Amino acid sequence: MNDVRLAVLVSGSGTILESIVGYGIDVSVVVADRSCRALEVANRLKIDPILIDRMAFGGFSQQFDRAGYTESLTDRLQNERIDLIAMAGFGTVLTGAFHDAFPGRVLNTHPSLLPAFKGWHAVREALSAGASVTGCTVHVATVELDDGPILAQRAVDVIVGDSEESLHERIKLVERDIYPVVIEAAMAAVSHGELVSDVRIN
């Protein structure tokens, strides 16, 4: 799988990136949409850190140039000859042009058992709904938020007295365990010319 070039997209602390590398996966580049600890992690791990700062495209205002940002990111990844992309807490929603450029080769992890509790506040909504079980889903990302073929899921029990923070932390532990396994299988699929969407981890 050394011939498969993997990019990890980040926005935060880099703990998922650390779990991916710790699993033994070769990451070619790390791309962030803002200054964050994950870039420092990449540098420490001797992975090429790339900052394509959304502040240059309007930041977090209503004037954010989503199409322009998507084009810049996509061009850079194509120039880096990237084959597979793993979103790891990446906070910018990209346009369909990104998914058209990497069809079926963008992975994402989400803190719920999809299709339940899509969106940015999945853990909060699970608690509000009184769910007794939630979890983590790894799926192929599409232009539709938190959609696409599901590759793996792991359940996490909701404990009486859980806060959003405590429940999310337990989900993150599962996420760091299962995501690298799926990424490794997806890299093998790409290496053999197979569809990432056919990967299933039980």
How much of the chain is in helix, strand and coil states, percent to nearest 5?
A: 40, 20, 40
User: Under the phi-then-psi rule, with left for phi > 0, alpha for psi from -120 to 50, and beta for the rest, what region is 156?
Assistant: beta
Catalytic residues: 110
- 126: which 2 tokens? 């699970």
Tell me the CA distances in angstroms from 201 to 95, 174, 182, one per residue in order: 28, 14, 7
Instruction: Find the Cα–Cα–Cα–Cα dihedral 149, 154, 157, 163, rounded to 10°.
Output: -70
Rounded CA-CA distance 21/123 in Å is 26
Q: Which residues pair with 107 in a beta bridge?
A: 86, 140
Q: How distant, in Å, are the alpha carbons of 10, 61, 63, 93 from that of 66?
A: 17, 11, 9, 8
